[in-house]
């Protein structure tokens, strides 16, 4: 980090600033030119409060030259992180296919979809029990009962389950959920992230609707700073001016995140596009760009789905998509789970 001082700073104030930096555990390199004075900070600057430095009246500007995230940073952890779910893994060449309905609706629905997606090669079952809906009048999910039904489906199929948590109050209900999703709308719910940091559970963190990759990685950092390193990042499309698709899938996010971080990156082409026939081509693109998995919405009867039916694949469409996914995986030398 570089701190550029205003012209002719008072010596006493400079000394106070240097002392403050030392108290923060940082060494410095002080360089006084004829017009500009620059202080180079040496050490771990990830915990430095840039705003506090900026507020100092002798400081002109503060520039970060290294990333503000540390635990998630590949520089400090060059090998790919592999998240281990027991008999399934994600990351480091292990590919995860998460499939299932947007929301858990009935025992018959979730069991039927679970069996079908397993048959086609999925290695995780997804299903929302607590749903973040734009309208308060829309189906909000079966809540605790939905989680129970997912657990039933896990018993039937052996597939580990993924479900979204929306509130800290529900943490206990998720004790037996294998992979806890933090949805796009909660990517910056920092209190939730902090608590999940103490949970030790694998967390599927989705990118916010309008968040930068640095903000995304800082949210992962919140979870990891609490001691939970089991984080999988999910690119699910962002808001742009384009209206043909529900969101715009940011394909470049995949190699960029993998370059910046050691965490696995998966892609959700269902929410990214909102259009079933785009799920297959964008799954191919995701694999080619280096993704460690995909998450796809599948419903046994999309026309009657209580949430996101318009973007859900039928089990038959998912089966076709999986044939292509498997071919692309082979080409990229990924292995299932």
Residue 98's nearest CA partner among 325, 285, 328 is 325
132 binds, among Mn ion, ligand PEP, none (CB under 5 to 8 A by kind): ligand PEP
Taking CB under 5 A as the criterion, the residue among 208, 308, 315, 317 binding Mn ion is: 308
- Which residue is nearest to ligand PEP, using beta carbons? 183
CA distance 140 to 167: 14
| Cβ neighbour number for residue 112 with a 10 Å cutoff | 17
The first and second tokens of residue 306, run together, are: 């209580």
Indicate the SS3 state at residue 330: helix
Cross-strand bridge partners of residue 94:
91, 335
Minimum distance of ligand PEP from residue 51's CB (angstroms) = 29
Taking CB under 5 A as the criterion, the residue among 102, 116, 150, 184 binding Mn ion is: 102
Minimum distance of ligand PEP from residue 299's CB (angstroms) = 12
Strands 179-182 and 161-164: parallel
**Nearer to ligand PEP (CB atom), residue 141 or residue 197:** 141
Indicate the SS3 state at residue 86: coil
Structural contact between residues 196 and 180, judged by C-beta atoms closer than 8 angstroms: yes
CA distance 72 to 36: 34
Minimum distance of ligand PEP from residue 83's CB (angstroms) = 18
**Nearer to ligand PEP (CB atom), residue 287 or residue 306:** 306
Minimum distance of Mn ion from residue 268's CB (angstroms) = 9
Number of residues that bind Mn ion (CB under 5 A): 2
Minimum distance of ligand PEP from residue 284's CB (angstroms) = 20
**Nearer to ligand PEP (CB atom), residue 111 or residue 162:** 162
Strands 37-42 and 293-297: unpaired
Structural contact between residues 234 and 202, judged by C-beta atoms closer than 8 angstroms: no
Q: Using CB under 5 A, which of the segments 4-12, 99-107, 196-204, 315-323 binds Mn ion?
A: 99-107
Contacting positions for ligand PEP (CB under 6 A): 102, 128, 132, 183-185, 206, 236, 268, 271
Minimum distance of ligand PEP from residue 311's CB (angstroms) = 10
| Footprint on this chain of Mn ion (rule: CB under 5 A) | 102, 308
């Amino acid at each position: 980090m570089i701190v550029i001082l205003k012209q002719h700073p008072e010596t006493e104030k400079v000394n106070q600033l240097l002392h403050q930096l030392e108290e923060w555990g940082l060494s410095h390199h002080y360089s006084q030119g004829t017009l500009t004075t620059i202080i180079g900070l040496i050490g771990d600057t990830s915990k430095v409060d840039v705003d506090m430095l900026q507020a100092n009246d002798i400081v002109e500007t503060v520039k970060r030259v290294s990333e503000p995230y540390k635990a998630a940073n590949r520089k400090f952890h060059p090998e790919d992180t592999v998240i281990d779910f027991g008999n399934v893994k994600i990351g480091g060449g292990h590919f995860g296919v998460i499939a299932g309905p947007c929301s858990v609706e009935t025992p018959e629905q979730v069991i039927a979809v679970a069996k079908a997606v397993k048959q086609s090669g999925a290695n995780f079952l997804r299903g929302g029990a607590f749903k973040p809906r734009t309208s308060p009048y829309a189906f909000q999910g079966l809540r605790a009962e939905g989680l129970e039904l997912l657990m039933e489906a896990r018993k039937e199929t052996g597939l580990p389950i993924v479900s979204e948590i929306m509130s800290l109050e529900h943490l206990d209900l998720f004790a037996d959920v294998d992979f806890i999703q933090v949805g796009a709308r909660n990517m910056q719910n920092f209190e939730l992230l902090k608590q999940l940091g103490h949970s030790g559970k694998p967390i599927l963190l989705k990118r916010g609707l309008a968040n930068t990759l640095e903000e995304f990685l800082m949210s992962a950092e919140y979870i990891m700073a609490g001691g939970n390193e089991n984080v999988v990042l999910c690119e699910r499309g962002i808001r742009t001016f384009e209206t043909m698709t529900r969101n715009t899938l940011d394909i470049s996010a995949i190699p960029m995140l993998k370059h910046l971080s050691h965490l696995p990156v998966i892609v959700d082409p269902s929410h990214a596009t909102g259009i079933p026939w785009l799920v297959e081509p964008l799954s191919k693109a995701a694999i080619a760009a280096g993704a460690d998995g995909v998450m796809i919405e599948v419903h046994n009867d999309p026309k009657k789905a209580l949430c996101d039916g318009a973007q859900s694949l039928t089990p038959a469409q998912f089966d076709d998509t999986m044939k292509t996914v498997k071919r692309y995986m082979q080409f990229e030398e990924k292995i299932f789970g």
